[in-house]
Amino acid sequence: MEFAVAVYRLCRGLPGTDEGRHVANQLRRAASSVAANYRAACRGRSDRELISKLGTCIEEGDESGFWLDFIARIELATPYGGSKPSAFILQPSAFPGSS
């Protein structure tokens, strides 16, 4: 859940251009899917269901990483302390509007 919340906060600071909105929508969708599928995995009715949902979490997490990297590469935002995609998420003070 924290990852999805951090992504939503990051997306608030992206530009309101067509490009910014597109990337923000894709990133929010992928990040919230990680949270929703992890929650569903924890409530799985079988090991098979758990494994399936966790697989989806991995795929959506990877897609989130892609969009974070893409944001840095097209310079929609600058990550905290470097160019690693995770730097966007790991440093809350780097998000516009955060305290």
Helix runs in 43-86, H state only: 47-73
**Cα 17 off chain centre by:** 19
Tell me: the pLDDT tens digits for 31-88? 999 999 999 999 989 999 999 999 999 999 999 999 998 998 898 886 655 545 555 5
Domains (range + CATH), the chain:
2-8+16-80 (1.20.1440.60)
Answering whether pTM is above 0.85, one says no
Q: How far apart are CA 63 and CA 42, in angstroms?
A: 21
| Residue 69 falls in which region: left (phi positive, over 0), alpha (psi -120 to 50) or beta | alpha
More confident call, 35 vs 94: 35
